[in-house]
Amino acid sequence: MAASWDGSYDPGSQSDDSHHFERLHIEPLYDAFVCPLTKQVMRDPVTLENGQTFEREAIEKWFKECRESGRKLVCPLTLKELKSTDLNPSIALRNTIEEWTTRNEAAQLDMARRSLNMSSSENDVLLSLKFIQHICQKSRSNKHVVRNADLIPMIVDMLKSSSRKVRCRALETLLVVVEEDEDNKAILAEGDTVRTIVKFLSHEQSKEREEAVSLLYELSKSEAVCEKIGSINGAILILVGMTSSKSENVLTVEKADKTLENLEKFENNVRQMAENGRLQPLLTQILEGTPETKQSMAAYLGELVLNNDVKVYVAKTVGESLINLMRSGNMQSREAALKALNQISSYEASSKVLIEAGILPPLVKDLFTVGANQLPMRLKEVSATILSNVVNSGYDVDSIPIGPDHQTLLSEDNVHNLLHLISNTGPPIECKLLQVLVGLTSSPTTALNVVAAIKSSGATISLVQFIEVPQQDLRMACIKLLQNLSPYMGQELADALRGTVGQLSSLIRVISENTGISEEQAAAAGLLAELPERDLGLTRQMLDEGAFQSIISRVVKIRQGETRGTRFVTPFLEGLVRVLARVTFVLSEEPDAVALCREYNLAALFIELLQANGLDNVQMVSATALENLSQESKNLTRLPELPPPGVCASIFPCFSKQAVITGLCRVHQGTCSLKESFCLLEGQAVHKLVALLDHTNAKVVEAALAALSTLLDDGVAIEQGVSVLCEAEAIKPILDVLLEKQTENLRRRAVWVVERLLRTEDIAYEVSGDQNVSTALVDAFHHADYRTRQIAERALKHVDKIPNFSGIFPNM
């Protein structure tokens, strides 16, 4: 049994490396110094009743195992039973061993010291470092010995070794030397040593990284060294990276995380962590720090660039604290909070979190307050920016009370206050407040409140004037606001644009700029598109200023592919086409409009735009423009001049023969062309309009049907118009439109067209057998409006569903 203890117990057990030095004794090793059980030099020798001496822990373990196994208590050497297990300390022997050990360790340490240089062999250096670890682990007092022997700088020098093993062993040794020893940590922190250790964090070898981060973790327990670690460029960045790395082992990640926790004692370190993606320490300081710390951290938060997901997290974590800080009487704190809230609110989702945290009431109060406690203008600009962000987040701000009597931001008084501020502050704040109104007018339900307040305050003219300002962002905010307002106060805006000098020209100039396609240009085109299309005065002014020529040029370039790839192409093109179409609404009143349409062959352009697949609004507006142009064709076609009859023919009419003139338009009975008289029989217009009758958008179908109906209008040869539609295979699609009844307007239009078609006997005969068409006409006869019911009655007469003598309605 005694033999089984050989090497099985060693209180200071080390590898064979460290015992290399123990075997090099200056004084001989006496057998009395060695424990028979451990075969190691004893530290706490004790003697049994039979005079045998052992290491205390070893003999105690021996006795314990005897008891647990039920054996007799015997001496491990003599194997004779013992009467007592009393252990008597061998004080004299212990003192002798300690003196011997001290002398030998001093000699061994000196040997290790001489080996710590670049000229020594790798093995000697490794053994020396291992021995230093061994004696430091053996006794804390030995760490003082190592320090006093100036061994720490020598170990540090080994970090520059070309041997990876030596570098790793040096890092490992430094950890042992400085562990729980402030003085050694202070010495290690001198010079560039910490910087060298940090460099190991980015080494390719994982072992070096692991040893380096363990050493830094131990060093970071000292506040003095914490500051030094944080001051090293890249240290915190690398540590933060290690905490989120999936390639590092769990222990390394944990040590990196704990190191950062220790570094949080210094504000500068916290700032660096936040800058490198570890925000929680900074947020904790905002939540729990002193007022000065909260202010400092909030100010720094306002300087950070955060991604959107982080903004939401920050808003949820410290949003309420920042809002409370914003309410503080301390102007520096308010400024810091406002700048942080400005950063966080720039994302819709985080803005909504801030609204729910209660940001609106104090924010509006800050903007509207005047007097002793008012914010300086530079901070009112920040407040206006935050308000713009939260209002444009899509949250229902009208549900948030911000004043007495359940007032909201959309209450008339508050909108008046915003309008007053817009008129009495500088461009930066004006821009942000206009953006607030843009947000408030983005929804039809809230826009009406703003419209009412603008009308009651007479602010239309002052708002329109911003179109002329040189600041691009301010001008764009104004144009976007007016675009939002135009569906509700289009005539007022048209009057304002016509009544003032320069605004209309500025809008046209914005649209005409050939610098790609911007959001401002799309908004300007959208604004003009929403103005009343039959406002003759506005159209004339646009004709006088050459607006339509610029618009035609932009449309052509977009269709030719010269301008592409921006997200504003579609709204810009839709706006341009709508603005261009307004010229077709004044053809009968404005000769210059007819001249423009002829000069630029607008009929052909609108026919080409019918094929703008995927752009429903462009197709719809183009079909409407073609309807307007086609209605004017009967007035623009050149009727033939018949030659006067001869003398005989005048005396004897029976000898006269009707002159035959060829090349005339079948429908308009005169000389027609697409360019001069806008006749739809040219340019494949009819076929392209028929193709739109099965469009999924009812408004596009209605516009296409309206354009085709001009071929059946009073004043043209209706039977020839029917013939043209037959040749274009339009009859079935038109009947299908009647049957589908998508909208009331579409049914009204379809009934009118079908009645005209049924005037042709062949078509009436064919349709009379189609029960579905008859049912649709009967339904219109019973349920449509008064005028459509009359037309449906006539249509039913054509197919003999109603006798001609049974007129229900008076003749029209």
Reading the block at residue 428, the tokens are: 């930066």
Reading the block at residue 159, the tokens are: 């970090």
- CA 684 from chain centre, in angstroms, equals 46
Terminal Cα-to-Cα distance of the chain (whole angstroms): 129
Strands 88-89 and 53-55: unpaired
More confident residue, 26 or 387: 387
* Residue 121 burial (10 A CB sphere; 0-12, 13-18, 19+): exposed
Reading the block at residue 65, the tokens are: 């195992």
- Phi/psi for 557 (5° steps) reads -65, -40
Ordered alpha helix ranges (H), 289-376: 291-303, 308-326, 331-344, 348-356, 360-368
pLDDT at 8: 31
Exposure letters 242-273 (e unless 16+ CB within 10 A, then b):
bbeeeebeeebbebbbbbbebbbebbebbbbb
Reading the block at residue 113, the tokens are: 């010291």
Mean pLDDT of 549-553: 93
Q: What is the largest CA-CA distance in the chain?
A: 172
pLDDT tens column, 424-454: 888 889 999 999 999 999 988 889 999 999 9
Please determine, for residue 1, whether its predicted confidence score (pLDDT) is greater than 60. Answer: no
Ordered alpha helix ranges (H), 397-443: 412-423, 427-440
pLDDT at 2: 33
In degrees, to the nearest 5, what angle opens at C-alpha 340 toward C-alphas 339 and 341? 90
What is the Cα–Cα distance from 777 to 507, expressed in whole angstroms?
Answer: 48
- Contact residues for 636 (Cβ-Cβ < 8 A; gap 6+): 594, 676, 677, 678
What mean pLDDT is reported for the chain?
Answer: 87
pLDDT band at 657 (very low <50, low <70, confident <90, very high): low
Asked if 308 and 269 count as a contact pair (C-beta separation under 8 A), the reply is: no
pLDDT band at 202 (very low <50, low <70, confident <90, very high): confident
pLDDT at 284: 94
89: β partners? 46
pTM: 0.74
What is the Cα–Cα distance from 578 to 615, expressed in whole angstroms?
Answer: 12
* Residue 785 burial (10 A CB sphere; 0-12, 13-18, 19+): exposed
Decide: helix, strand or coil at residue 459: coil
Q: How many CB atoms lie within 10 A of CB 140?
A: 11
pLDDT at 18: 46
pLDDT tens column, 256-296: 999 999 999 999 999 999 999 899 999 999 999 999 999 99
Asked if 151 and 116 count as a contact pair (C-beta separation under 8 A), the reply is: yes
- Phi/psi for 490 (5° steps) reads -60, -40
Please determine, for residue 214, whether its predicted confidence score (pLDDT) is greater than 90. Answer: yes
What is the Cα–Cα distance from 714 to 711, expressed in whole angstroms?
Answer: 9
pLDDT tens column, 715-739: 889 999 999 999 999 999 999 998 8
More confident residue, 100 or 177: 177
pLDDT band at 477 (very low <50, low <70, confident <90, very high): very high
Percent of residues, the chain, with pLDDT higher than 90: 54
pLDDT tens column, 376-393: 888 999 999 999 999 999
pLDDT tens column, 325-335: 998 868 899 99
